[in-house]
Structure 1
Amino acid sequence: MQVAFLGLGTMGAPMAANLAKAGVALRVWNRSEGPAARLAEVGAEPAASPAEAAHGADVLIAMLADDAATKAVLLDGGALEALAPGALLVNMATVAVAFGASLADQAERCGVAYVAAPVLGRVNVAEAGELNILAGGRADAIDRAQPLFDVMGRKTWRFGERPEQANAVKLAVNFMLASAIETMGEAASLAEGHGVSGADFLAMATSTVFAAPAYQGYGAAIASGTFEPAGFKLSLGLKDVRLALEAAEAARTPMLFAAVLRDNLIDGVAHGEGDLDWAALAKVAARRAGRL
């Protein structure tokens, strides 16, 4: 199986590296050349363009930043058109539901099977090959991608025959994560307002009633004020909450708290915090309470 992998950023690079180390015949492309050159050291073949990477590939995996980057590479960059009929396109980026549906339509017109497979997990999880993969698409198409998913992830969760259903699930999860960060930030500010250490409060809460990985990981970052290097930038969190609201409107689903989160994330970006880890959303609550 010849696999092409487009997008070697924070998440894409370790995912592609795991495929190469597993012996997958891998051709890679990235906008900047450095990551592709590093992948060559573990057996991947760098390509000069997205179309060159896609040419002759049985499976094309894309892990790009957003809708615009995905469109620029897959469509404007000619990668989708370079795939032969019968090939498989797997988009593992977090994109809008509407864009995911449009991409599925365009793949079908090219005779290419399409699976949306956004992931759950930060860079350390990607490095360990322990991602949770949220897959949407025809069962036979997901089955074709499954051996690759098994290398990159610990479990594949299937969410329907329409690829964009997986995109909706990913946006829903990211909304929940943003909500957890927001509530921890506000709760810690409440405790601090009464002379209690916010770090002590979060250590207790995330060891007892909220003893879950998301709360523990982000709670520790909030408690220590460690927001760099960013595992997931606050600006990308804003993008995903906006996409969740867009998807909610399309489904006539009110999401009142999502609108609050969007505005608080805008507050963070306006204060120059867009490149920090999105755990820095907690700084918005602290700032409003006069504790920054």
Structure 2
Amino acid sequence: MKIAFFGLGTMGLPMAINLVKAGHQVTGFDKSIEQTKRLVAAGGLTSTSTSPAASEADVVISMLPDDATTRAAIVESGVIAELAFGAIHINMGTVSVALSRELTQLHRQHYGHYVAAPVLGRVNAAEVGQLNILAAGAADALLTIKPLFEVLGQRIWHFGEKPEQANVAKLAANFMIGSAIATMGEAVTLAAAYGVSKIDFMELVTSTVFDAPAYRNYGHAIARESFEPPGFKLALGLKDVKLAMSAAEEVNVPLLMASVLRDAHIDSLAHGEGDMDWAALSRAAARRAGQA
């Protein structure tokens, strides 16, 4: 397939490279010239203009960090209007329900298809094509792009025909991850207050009652205070918590822990930790206990 790929960041670049390796023609776009050079070195293409690449693409994939960046790259740039009849846009970033609905409508107006397919997994999973892909959209569009998902992920999870359903599932999952990080931060702070090694404690819980990737990866980072380079920035964690709160408010679903979680993130941002790994949220708990 001919693919126009927007967003060659920490996650997007290895995803785009895997698609090139699978035999697809991938033209990448990113504000970082260095990232586009890395795609070209792997056999991909780049262009100074979105117009020819978008108009000739069978599929557009966007892997961008937030609503504003996605809107600028896909909507304000005019990419949607340039797409060929029946082309498919796969948005693999984590965006709001509102933007997902807007993109669905805009693509429909231009006789295209929109699929939401945010992912679970860090950069190491992206590099080896082992992401979990949360997908929602029209059944025929999902069938067409299934071969691309099989390159990028270890499993495809279908959540319905409305793209925003996949976005809500991702936001709910990230809300759980953020809650787990905050809880682990408080737990290791309690253990440390009694002279228990953070590393030993986290080895225990992640080998027994919380033997799961999110707990292992973030828990070990918390115990070792290993927050750089970031696999997923703390500031993006706050963005996702706020998006989950917004989605919940729309349908009158109380998220009682979300306000506390949001404020813990704001505490971290106030201390200049927004560009650190999400695990750095644990520092807020340490500060409250006088251990920082």
TM superposition shift of 1:35? 1.1
1:235 matches 2:239 = no
TM superposition shift of 1:198? 2.1
Which residue number corresponds to residue 206 of structure 2?
A: 206
Which residue number corresponds to residue 99 of structure 1?
A: 99
Which residue number corresponds to residue 248 of structure 1?
A: 248
Residues 262-277 of structure 1 correspond to what in structure 2 (within 5 A)? Answer: 262-277=262-277
Which residue number corresponds to residue 169 of structure 2?
A: 169
How far does the alpha carbon of each residue in 1:138-161 deviate from its partner, in whole angstroms, 9 at most, with x for none? 111111111101111111100001
Which residue number corresponds to residue 154 of structure 1?
A: 154
Q: CA RMSD in A?
A: 0.9
Which residue number corresponds to residue 28 of structure 1?
A: 28
TM superposition shift of 1:34? 1.6
CA–CA separation in structure 1 for the residues paired with 2:186 and 2:51: 47
In structure 2, stretches of 5+ residues that fail to align are none
CA–CA separation in structure 2 for the residues paired with 1:11 and 1:111: 29
Which residue number corresponds to residue 281 of structure 2?
A: 281
Q: Contact 1:188–1:201 at 8 Å: present in 2 too? A: yes
CA–CA separation in structure 1 for the residues paired with 2:73 and 2:261: 30
1:206 is paired with a residue whose SS is helix
Residues 1-292 of structure 1 correspond to what in structure 2 (within 5 A)? Answer: 1-292=1-292
Letter in 2 for 1:73: A
How far does the alpha carbon of each residue in 1:56-81 deviate from its partner, in whole angstroms, 9 at most, with x for none? 11111111111000000101112111
| TM-score for both structures, normalised by structure 1 | 0.98
Between 42-51 and 78-87, the greater mean CA deviation after superposition: 42-51
Structure 1 ranges of 4+ moved more than 4 A: none
Between 192-201 and 277-286, the greater mean CA deviation after superposition: 192-201
How far does the alpha carbon of each residue in 1:106-149 deviate from its partner, in whole angstroms, 9 at most, with x for none? 11111111100000100010000000000010111111111101
Letter in 2 for 1:12: G
CA–CA separation in structure 1 for the residues paired with 2:102 and 2:197: 49
CA–CA separation in structure 2 for the residues paired with 1:32 and 1:193: 44
CA–CA separation in structure 1 for the residues paired with 2:261 and 2:65: 21
TM superposition shift of 1:226? 0.2
TM superposition shift of 1:280? 0.5
Q: Contact 1:29–1:53 at 8 Å: present in 2 too? A: no
CA–CA separation in structure 2 for the residues paired with 1:179 and 1:52: 44
TM superposition shift of 1:53? 2.6
CA–CA separation in structure 1 for the residues paired with 2:52 and 2:231: 30
| TM-score for both structures, normalised by structure 2 | 0.98
Q: How many residues align?
A: 292
1:230 is paired with a residue whose SS is coil
